[in-house]
Amino acid sequence: MRLSELSQGADAVVREVENVVDGDPIARRLRDYGFVRGEPVRLVGRGPIGADPLLVQIGFTRFALRRAEAARVIVESVP
Amino acid sequence: MIEAVVSLRLALVGNPNCGKTALFNQLTGGRQKVANYAGVTVERKEGRFSGPSGRTFQLIDLPGAYSLEAASPDEVITRDVCLGHFPGETAPDAIVCVADATNLRLHLRFVLEVRRLGRPMVLALNMMDAARKRGIEIDVAKLEEALGIPVVETVAVRRGGAAALAARLDGELPPAVVVDANSDLHAEVRALLADAVSMPRRTAEIDDALDRFFLHPVLGLGVLAVIMFLIFQAVFSWAEPLMEGIEAGVGLVGAWVGSGLASMPMLQSLVVDGIFAGVGGVLVFLPQILILFLFILALEESGYLPRAAFLLDRLMLKAGLTGRSFIPLLSSFACAIPGIMATRSIQDPRDRLTTILIAPLMTCSARLPVYALLIAAFIPDQTVAGIFNLQGIVLFSLYVAGIVSALAVAWVIKLIRRDKSEHALLMELPSYRIPHPRDIAIGLWERANIFLKRVGGIILSLTIILWFLSTFPGAPEAATEPAINYSFAGMLGRWLHVLFEPIGFNWQISIALVPGLAAREVAVSSLATVYALSGHEEGLQAIVAAQWSMATAFSLLAWYVFAPMCLSTLATVRRETNSWRQVWIMAGYLFALAYLASFLTYQITRAFGA
């Protein structure tokens, strides 16, 4: 499952971040932000237009990610 | 006074939003210098402070970075300066790494990355007050031991909140720690947190509550609209009396100085119409710049600015921009200069450049005098559909024409740009904070300085050059026309007339456009001068209405939607992009669009027989 597919308020755990292109700078940046295996993540909210961007909680920090960015993050949902 | 000898050069690094700049302000107070790094437009801030022993430290505030595997020009500089690789910068003797005590999961990773550089360093655990309030407990001794570097608690926004840091830096610093360069930093951070930090809750309750409100699809957009309206009002109308005051004040002083030079008319004209007009032309922008940045700094410091960008991102993305483009573009309705200066808050260099390039298409307040003159002269003051005023509709259409062309230009820039790689948003939404007046005051002071020093000089020299062009050579003895018609500007205007004839401009307009290069509204008073009406702008409307065709007037209106002739804006673009190429691109495309629009307007209006 991808982070972009989580429903609002849902908790999950990061499995990995996929590279869309070789040496994907956006994927690397996501890993720097803490999107690494085993990290709990939550979809806190969505933007008002087209439900984009997404408001994501990782670690102690909140990030705004566009859908295409969040789709790079593969997660496992937590019941 | 003899300059104190610097005993140690320190570099301040940290994640964005760690309170690094507030700490820098707290340590150095007003003793700072702002410049640019050689060859790039990234700001370089340097300051000094004294330790308890009286030793003087030089502190350089490096751009905030999430990683040293640089992803942005800012981060390249932070990495290169720390390593001593940046041309013209000596390597710092020690690094002060700042981390927000409430955001350690993210910030400790960067601390560990900086530690790998193998330089002597100190960790400042900032915002310890907020951490305590949230019940976060940090075992500083354990952290110090695990990291192998000194750890000092700081509260950058409290008086004396950095005293412990200054004292620690004044003591003997331990040598650099040598660590494995290939370890898993995230695993290390988790181990550190498990060992030394107890966190009752991952986020602050107040942040959650505020975000539910400010990011609400309906309420959030409503609040944003109110804030935008306030900013627009403030920049547009609150600045007006101040600007008039500055113009009147500078004019009075100029006239007073000029009266002392009455025996030398040429020098008097240079002083009054060249130098003082130029100084006034520079200072007049200050109220708008300061008011706009007062809002922007307060919004940025409070953490609201990224929220606004969050709400608007999707909308702006459709035009090939980013949520962060919105405020600079909104400000450009008052004046493109503060708008272009405000694009510094856009991190992606491509998005920033696009925003700068389209900013002049937002109808700035300087175009209003031209619009007012032509609309009053040519558009009947009549009611349409019962409630609308025809003059008002025309004015509104001119604004809309500007916005639509801006979006179209942004879209074209996106199409022709060679670098098609994805533009990232990836934006941190930091904790909400109450802005500190000192940090805002220092920020405003910096903006004013940057504008006066780096843009003011260009505007002043251009005004003097334009004065020269409009004054020399003087009118012959038997002159029948106003003096400006015989000057270089007059000659240039008549020459330009050949170029402007197909779009319906007469030679009077062509001449008036030359001094109008300094600022758009000057074109109106120049027209009055050309028609020998100095000081009687009321009469101008009658002359224009009687002598110009409808097609010419519409053509000039269309011209001013694009109005490429604001040299002050071009000077700002030169300073903000550090490139003449962008200046030429902007001037070129605006001129081409203006010419095309005016040509079409003129020919079509004539075809309809007006």
In a domain, B86, yes or no: yes
DSSP secondary-structure letter at B274?
Answer: I
Backbone angles phi, psi at B229, to 5 degrees: -60, -45
Give per-residue burial for B559-597: e unless 16+ CB within 10 Å, then b.
Answer: bbbbbbbbbbbbbbbbbbbeeeebbebbbebbeebbbeb
Q: Is the pLDDT of residue B1 over 50?
A: no
Q: For residue B326, give every residue at least 6 positions away whose Cβ sits within 8 Å of its Cβ, in sequence order, or none.
A: B308, B309, B312, B316
In a domain, B37, yes or no: yes
Average pLDDT over residues B107-136: 94
CA distance A31 to chain B (A): 9
Task: Give tens-digit pLDDT for A8-56.
Answer: 999 999 999 999 998 888 999 999 999 999 999 999 999 998 888 999 9
Average pLDDT over residues B79-84: 90
CA–CA separation, B526 vs B483, rounded Å? 12
In angstroms and rounded to an integer, the radius of gyration of the C-alpha atoms of chain A is 11
Q: Which of the two residues, B360 and B231, has the higher pLDDT score?
A: B360
Average pLDDT, chain B: 86
| Amino acid letter, B272 | V
Percent of chain B at pLDDT > 70 equals 96
In angstroms and rounded to an integer, the radius of gyration of the C-alpha atoms of chain B is 28
Task: Name every chain B residue with its beta carbon within 8 A of the beta carbon of A62.
Answer: 203, 207, 211, 428-429
Q: Which domain holds residue A70?
A: 3-77
Task: Name every chain A residue with its beta carbon within 8 A of the beta carbon of B103.
Answer: 59-61
Q: Tell whether B537 lies on the interface with A, counting CB pairs under 8 A.
A: no
- State how many domains chain B has: 1
What is the CATH classification number for the domain harbouring B50? 3.40.50.300
In a domain, B167, yes or no: yes
Q: Where are the alpha helices (DSSP H) in B303-389?
A: 304-318, 326-331, 336-341, 349-358, 368-378
Partner residue opposite B314 with nearest CB, options A39, A50, A69: A50
- State how many domains chain A has: 1
Q: Which domain holds residue B141?
A: 6-202
In a domain, B386, yes or no: no
What ipTM was assigned to the predicted interfaces of this complex?
Answer: 0.95
Q: Which of A32, A35, A41, A43 to mutate to test the interface with B (most CBs of B within 10 A)?
A: A32
Task: Name every chain B residue with its beta carbon within 8 A of the beta carbon of A63.
Answer: 426-429
What is the CATH classification number for the domain harbouring A72? 2.30.30.90
CA–CA separation, B84 vs B292, rounded Å? 37
Percent of chain B at pLDDT > 90 equals 39
Q: CB of B93 within 8 A of CB of B60? A: no
Task: Name every chain A residue with its beta carbon within 8 A of the beta carbon of B200.
Answer: none
Q: Is the pLDDT of residue B358 over 80?
A: yes
Q: Is the pLDDT of residue B530 over 60?
A: yes
Q: Is the pLDDT of residue B2 over 50?
A: no
Least confident span in A55-64, B222-231, B513-522, B559-568 = B513-522
Identify the top-confidence range among A32-46, B77-91, B491-505.
A32-46
In a domain, B334, yes or no: no
Q: Is the pLDDT of residue B18 over 80?
A: yes
Task: Give tens-digit pLDDT for B305-340.
Answer: 899 999 999 988 888 888 888 878 887 887 888 889
Least confident span in A46-55, B135-144, B225-234, B472-481 = B472-481
Cα torsion A68, B426, B109, B178: sign: positive
Least confident span in B95-104, B183-192, B277-286, B529-538 = B529-538
Segment (H or E) for B207 = helix B205-214
